[in-house]
């Protein structure tokens, strides 16, 4: 059977077995579409049903999360943890607390995580979890009670050699602290390596908070370098204003670029003279308020309520908010306005139509599974520090991160060229990650 026919049939089966999970379908399709040349070169992957096994999670845990708010009202949310593939190491991937979360979201993120983790070269498998709980507007005590209830249900399924969750949207060091505290209380064990993204004062890694954003910028820098260009002096758009976006903006500025716009779910801040990051940090990390407050400090800045950040002309775009935030029309607008590079800080933020536009325009496009792998890579470095009961300096971790991102870029670049798709980082990342997992699956037998 031809490789194209094989992948088409597998995708049909995925849709049939996972009805209504559109995010998961999109993630699987994006990977399968790039694997035909690998299957032609390695027919043993077909014989041993490697793709069929990779597309089926090893474990899916769904549970009830009851909790009580400050007024005494009882709420019931749903929790998830999907362990997709553990052939290269324990499941590794974040927890997302957001009202949009459903099983299809978690499966898409976990599936992507398998390949992202594989291309880091670190000994970690792929998983993801979360809940449809919305932390916005909740008090500290409400968030604590929710986290304690969540981990009370999840704790039997995680561990340093089994599954190591981290943070994601809605889950930062505060939430990780509450989760870890309850895990410690239940297990009577100080198992530092069970969660990553911890505060450096009690087992976390320096530079972990910055890692995803920094890594996304390092990847963009490498893409530009092979094209004889540089970040310095470039105007940049960074969607979002959460953890990934904030530290992408910080590293862009440090490397001489100018960030002229950022956003949140309500609107866009456009500041042609350059976004003042200290103000964004104060609004988002301290006050936990909406981004429109930025204009209270800088009257020359413009707030566009409900606006589309991708309408603003730029040299470089970093989508760092959420999945499918950058569609085909926005991609065309970016290209028409002179954008030369896109590096994804979020997971699958560009729709398939948008990706096609970028490839047709032959601009540098770094997909999330490569460009935002710095976060999980640094989580693996945190696991190493926990295992040795050690703590590394910020500079040491950042140097390791920079080296990892440079290697990811180089290997994706070379893999794409090997299979006849020069400069296509989507193909390079997918094939690189797939082959690493596939070879482990062959070595371990039919499990």
263 carries a ligand binding annotation: no
Residue 182's SS3 state is helix
386 carries a ligand binding annotation: no
Q: Which tens digits make up the pLDDT trace of 158-180?
A: 999 999 999 999 999 999 999 99
Domain with CATH 3.40.50.10860 in the chain: 59-191
Is the model's pLDDT at 395 over the cut of 80?
Answer: yes
Is the model's pLDDT at 4 over the cut of 90?
Answer: no
113 carries a ligand binding annotation: yes
Q: What is the pLDDT of residue 2?
A: 66
Domain with CATH 3.40.50.720 in the chain: 209-366
Q: Beta partners for 190?
A: none
Which residue do the tokens 């890594």 mark?
215
Q: What is the pLDDT of residue 140?
A: 96
Residue in 107, 128, 209, 284 annotated catalytic: 128
Q: What is the pLDDT of residue 5?
A: 81
Q: Does domain 209-366 have CATH number 3.40.50.720?
A: yes
Residue 205 tokens, joined: 């890694």
Q: Which tens digits make up the pLDDT trace of 197-249?
A: 999 999 999 999 999 999 999 999 999 999 999 999 999 999 999 999 999 99
Q: What is the mean pLDDT of the chain?
A: 96
34 carries a ligand binding annotation: no
Percent of the chain scoring above 70 in pLDDT: 99
Q: How many helices (H) and strands (E) does the chain have?
A: 18, 12
Cβ contacts of 334 within 8 Å, gap of 6 or more: 310, 314, 317, 326, 342
Q: What is the pLDDT of residue 332?
A: 98
Q: What is the pLDDT of residue 1?
A: 59
Q: Which tens digits make up the pLDDT trace of 106-140?
A: 999 999 999 999 999 999 999 999 999 999 999 99
Residue 161's SS3 state is coil
Residue 333 is among the residues annotated as catalytic for this protein: no
CB 241 within 8 A of CB 260: no
Q: What is the pLDDT of residue 158?
A: 98
Cβ burial of 161 (10 Å; 0-12, 13-18, 19+) is exposed
For 59-191, CATH number out of 3.40.50.2300, 3.40.190.10, 3.40.50.2000, 3.40.50.10860 equals 3.40.50.10860
Is the model's pLDDT at 15 over the cut of 90?
Answer: yes
Mean pLDDT value of segment 48-67: 97
CA 289 to chain centre: 23
379 carries a ligand binding annotation: yes
**Distance, CA of 131 to CA of 121 (rounded, Å):** 29
**Residue spans of alpha helices (H) in 351-393:** 352-361, 368-371, 374-387
């Amino acid at each position: 059977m031809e490789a194209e026919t094989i992948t088409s049939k597998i995708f049909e089966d995925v849709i049939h077995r996972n009805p209504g999970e559109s995010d998961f379908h999109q993630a699987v399709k994006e990977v399968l579409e790039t694997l035909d040349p690998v299957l032609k070169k390695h027919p043993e992957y077909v014989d041993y049903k490697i793709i069929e096994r990779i597309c089926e999670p090893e474990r899916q845990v769904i549970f009830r999360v009851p909790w009580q708010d400050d007024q005494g009202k009882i709420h019931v949310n749903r929790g998830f943890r999907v362990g997709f593939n553990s052939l290269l190491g324990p499941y590794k991937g974040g927890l997302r607390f957001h009202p949009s979360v459903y099983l299809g979201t978690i499966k898409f993120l976990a599936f992507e995580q398998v390949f992202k983790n594989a291309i880091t070269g670190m000994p970690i498998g792929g998983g993801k979890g979360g809940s449809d709980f919305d932390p916005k507007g909740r008090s500290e005590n409400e968030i604590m009670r929710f986290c304690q209830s969540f981990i009370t249900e999840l704790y039997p399924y995680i561990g340093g050699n089994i599954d190591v969750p981290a943070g994601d949207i809605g889950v930062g060091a505060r939430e990780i602290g509450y989760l870890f505290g309850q895990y410690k209380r239940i297990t009577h064990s100080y198992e530092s390596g069970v969660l990553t993204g911890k505060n450096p004062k009690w087992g976390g890694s320096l530079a972990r908070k910055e890692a995803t954003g920094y890594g996304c910028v390092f990847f963009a820098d490498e893409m530009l370098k092979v094209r004889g260009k540089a970040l310095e002096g470039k105007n940049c758009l960074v969607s979002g204003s959460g953890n990934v976006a904030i530290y992408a903006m910080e590293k862009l500025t440090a490397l001489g670029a100018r960030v002229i716009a950022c956003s949140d779910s309500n609107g866009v801040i456009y500041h042609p003279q350059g976004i003042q990051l200290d103000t964004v940090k104060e609004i988002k990390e301290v006050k936990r308020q909406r981004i429109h407050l930025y204009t209270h400090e800088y009257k020359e800045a413009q707030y566009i309520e409900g606006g589309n950040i991708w309408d603003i002309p730029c040299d470089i775009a970093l989508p760092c908010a959420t999945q499918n935030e950058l569609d085909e029309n926005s991609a065309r607008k970016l290209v028409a306005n002179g954008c030369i590079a896109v590096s994804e800080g979020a997971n699958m933020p560009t729709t398939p139509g948008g990706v096609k536009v970028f490839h047709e325009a032959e601009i540098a496009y770094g997909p999330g599974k490569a460009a935002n792998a710095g976060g999980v890579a640094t989580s693996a470095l945190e696991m190493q520090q926990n295992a040795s009961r050690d703590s590394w300096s910020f500079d040491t971790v950042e140097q390791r991160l920079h080296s990892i991102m440079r290697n990811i870029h180089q290997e994706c670049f070379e893999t794409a060229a090997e299979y006849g798709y020069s400069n296509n980082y989507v193909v390079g990342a997918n094939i690189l990650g797939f082959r690493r997992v596939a070879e482990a699956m062959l070595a371990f037998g039919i499990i």
